[in-house]
């Protein structure tokens, strides 16, 4: 029997971290991207906005288009679509067909148009049950329940059989829009032709039981909002969580409140979701924030961004007392209808404290069940494995411990150890007639980006950390190298190094030491400015270390005649 062409899957991100999900499906040198996400940077990466996949391997092995023929975007979360502008910037000849649901494409459209890259993509809308050719494969998309509308499970028919990707998924039997995860279709595929390889979300692989239904959260919100008689209510939620927003608005409406949205992404997403018919709200329930000022507090509800403590977002401004529209006081109730994303816990705690200090009553997941996860827990994962009964399995979308927990769960479900492959960022695996094997590690590096400008190297980050920890010292001197004399200086300026009054004696010590070293080097006939600057730097560094035990970033500059 003739051998079928092998199919490779390369994970450029998302395996070993929550964020920057991006996989490359490839056969015969033709590639399709499955998602292209970014990861939010924490405090350990000062000044870094995002961490994105390293696309260099695509370029090096596939030429200026990366041999990428299309991208399928499973849903509209940033960890799945946020790096698309960066991909297009780095692959200069790529014009990319991007497949996704209407809501996903709506957010991608905005993202690419902000980056001036709309002409580099063709957005192709697909709906539940659609089958279409994508690069060398056929792709079938099916509904999945998650914390954003329009999520899609993808089944790729390849020369090596069906590769099923779960997308970010949960099994919610009572979702707000009634659109349940397509277990029956997955079961049908499992029966015929069978699922050769399953890639599945591991985010909650170590959380026991099942996640709560989104509509259960709606009931809690309705009751909580009903209890806030005489008070203004402010709800912080993810701007893409349209079903949560729908339930908040329904709860407001049931208690006679008019709703205004606050925060640009909230306003944009609500408008998009209404336009697409995903958000069902009678227009009289919504008004502009500027019109709320005339209404009494108990008739008002504001749904806003910033529940993750993001700087400049609406809730953060309220906590700081700088929001243009809302001054928090002791008749306000603020509900955090979200859970901190890992890494944001400290910022969210600071935000809650800030709001409490302004007098607000604060409700959050610590004191009320006002949120549920969008990712299936162990029981749900077991149902997926049971229905899909894949031949091979790779856990994806999770920190390393989540991937391990998911691999163990697959074994608990009866898969043999050799059928479960634990992979990391950068791993290239190949599915052939002989089965699935690890082939190479090609490009799992983190690439740091700051706004829309290019990469930030690790040297910049090291310096930023040093600046943050130990400050900055600049040393200036003017010399006459012909005569071998110091004309003026050294002058010293510092930022964030040592507090007054100790500063003055340390400055004098550095000045004396640098002057002495410069004079002796000049007297010995040193004329090279770079050598003199290096001497000033090392002297200042040594003196700082001896006197303060600090290692500031030091800049030394020689001026001359």
Q: Which residues bind Zn ion (CB under 5 A)?
A: 77, 79, 168
Beta carbon of residue 328, minimum distance to Zn ion (angstroms, whole number): 31
Closer residue to Zn ion in complex, CB, 398/552: 398
Q: Which residues pair with 87 in a beta bridge?
A: none
Separation between Cα atoms, residue 150 and residue 558, nearest integer Å: 61
Question: What is the per-residue DSSP string for 354-393?
Answer: HHHHTT-EEE-TTTS-----SS--HHHHHHHHHHH--SEE
Closer residue to Zn ion in complex, CB, 77/385: 77
Closer residue to Zn ion in complex, CB, 170/541: 170
Beta carbon of residue 37, minimum distance to Zn ion (angstroms, whole number): 7
Contact 247, 149 (CB under 8 A): no
Beta carbon of residue 354, minimum distance to Zn ion (angstroms, whole number): 28
Helix (H) or strand (E) holding 52: strand 50-52
Q: What is the Rg, in whole angstroms, of the alpha carbon atoms belonging to the chain?
A: 28
Peptide bond into 193 cis (omega under 30): yes
Residue of 53, 75, 14, 22 whose CA lies nearest to 398: 14
Beta carbon of residue 204, minimum distance to Zn ion (angstroms, whole number): 12
Q: Which two tokens stand for residue 369?
A: 């069940």
Alpha helix stretches (DSSP H) within 358-499: 378-388, 400-412, 458-470
Closer residue to Zn ion in complex, CB, 72/486: 72
- For 272-340, the three-class secondary structure string (H helix, E strand, C coil) is HHHHCCCCCCCHHHECCHHHHHHCCHHHEEEEECCCCCCCCCHHHHHHHCCCCCCCCCCCEEEEECCCC
Beta carbon of residue 73, minimum distance to Zn ion (angstroms, whole number): 11
269-302 burial, b if ≥16 CB within 10 A, otherwise e?
A: bbebbeebebbebeeeebbebeebeeeebbebbb
Return the active site residues. 201, 375
Sign of CA dihedral 320, 324, 329, 331: negative
Closer residue to Zn ion in complex, CB, 151/161: 151
Contact 106, 126 (CB under 8 A): no
Closer residue to Zn ion in complex, CB, 79/470: 79
CA distances from 233 to 228, 328, 479, 505 (A): 7, 10, 67, 55
Phi-psi region of 356 (alpha: psi -120 to 50; beta: other; left: phi over 0): alpha
Other residues' Cβ atoms within 10 Å of the Cβ of residue 116: 11
Closer residue to Zn ion in complex, CB, 19/552: 19
Beta carbon of residue 268, minimum distance to Zn ion (angstroms, whole number): 18
Closer residue to Zn ion in complex, CB, 80/385: 80
Beta carbon of residue 349, minimum distance to Zn ion (angstroms, whole number): 24
Beta carbon of residue 228, minimum distance to Zn ion (angstroms, whole number): 30
Separation between Cα atoms, residue 552 and residue 112, nearest integer Å: 40
């Amino acid at each position: 029997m003739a051998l079928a062409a092998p199919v490779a899957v390369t994970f450029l991100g998302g395996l070993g971290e929550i964020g920057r999900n991006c996989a490359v499906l490839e056969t015969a040198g033709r590639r399709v991207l499955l998602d292209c996400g970014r990861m939010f940077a924490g405090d350990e990466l000062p000044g870094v906005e995002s961490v994105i996949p390293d696309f260099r391997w695509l370029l090096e092995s596939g030429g200026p288009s990366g041999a990428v023929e299309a991208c399928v975007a499973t849903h509209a979360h940033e960890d799945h679509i946020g790096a698309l502008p960066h991909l297009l910037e780095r692959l200069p000849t790529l014009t990319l067909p991007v497949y996704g649901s209407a809501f996903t494409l709506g957010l991608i459209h905005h993202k690419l148009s902000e980056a001036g890259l709309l002409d580099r993509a063709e957005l192709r809308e697909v709906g539940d049950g659609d089958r279409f050719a994508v690069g060398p494969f056929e792709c079938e998309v099916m509904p999945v329940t998650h914390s954003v509308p329009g999520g899609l499970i993808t089944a790729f028919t390849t020369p090596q059989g069906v590769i099923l990707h779960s997308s970010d998924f949960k099994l919610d039997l009572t979702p707000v829009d009634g659109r349940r995860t397509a277990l029956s279709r997955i079961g049908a595929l499992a029966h015929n032709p069978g699922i050769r390889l399953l890639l599945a979300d591991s985010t909650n692989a170590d959380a026991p039981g099942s996640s709560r239904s989104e509509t259960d959260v709606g009931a809690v919100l309705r009751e909580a909002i009903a209890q806030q008689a005489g008070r203004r209510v402010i709800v912080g939620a993810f701007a893409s969580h349209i079903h949560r927003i729908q339930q908040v608005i329904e709860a407001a409406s049931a208690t006679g409140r008019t709703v205004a949205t606050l925060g640009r992404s909230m306003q944009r997403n609500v408008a998009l979701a209404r336009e697409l018919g995903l958000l069902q709200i009678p227009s009289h329930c919504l008004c502009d924030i500027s019109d709320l000022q005339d209404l009494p507090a108990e008739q008002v509800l504001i749904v806003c961004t910033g529940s993750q403590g993001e700087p400049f977002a609406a809730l953060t401004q309220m906590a700081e007392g700088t929001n243009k529209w809302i001054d928090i006081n002791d008749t306000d109730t603020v509900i955090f209808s979200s859970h901190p994303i890992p890494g944001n816990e400290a910022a969210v705690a600071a935000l809650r404290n800030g709001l409490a200090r302004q007098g607000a009553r604060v409700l959050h997941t610590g004191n009320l069940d006002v949120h549920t996860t969008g990712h299936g827990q162990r029981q749900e994962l077991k149902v997926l494995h049971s229905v899909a009964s894949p031949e091979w399995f790779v856990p994806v979308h999770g920190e390393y411990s989540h991937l391990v927990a998911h691999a163990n769960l697959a074994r608990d479900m009866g898969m043999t150890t050799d059928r479960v492959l634990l992979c990391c960022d950068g791993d290239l695996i190949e599915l052939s007639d002989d089965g699935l094997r690890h082939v190479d590690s090609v490009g799992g590096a983190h690439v740091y980006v700051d706004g829309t400008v290019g990469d930030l190297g690790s040297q910049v980050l090291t310096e930023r950390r040093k600046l943050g920890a130990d400050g900055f010292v600049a040393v200036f001197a003017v010399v006459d190298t012909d005569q071998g004399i110091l004309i003026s200086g050294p002058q010293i300026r510092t930022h964030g190094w040592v507090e007054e009054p100790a500063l003055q004696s340390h400055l004098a010590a550095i000045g004396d030491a640098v002057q002495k070293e410069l004079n002796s080097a000049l007297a010995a006939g040193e004329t090279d400015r770079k050598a003199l600057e290096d001497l000033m730097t090392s002297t200042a560094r040594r003196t700082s270390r001896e006197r303060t035990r600090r290692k500031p970033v030091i800049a030394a500059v020689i001026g001359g005649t």
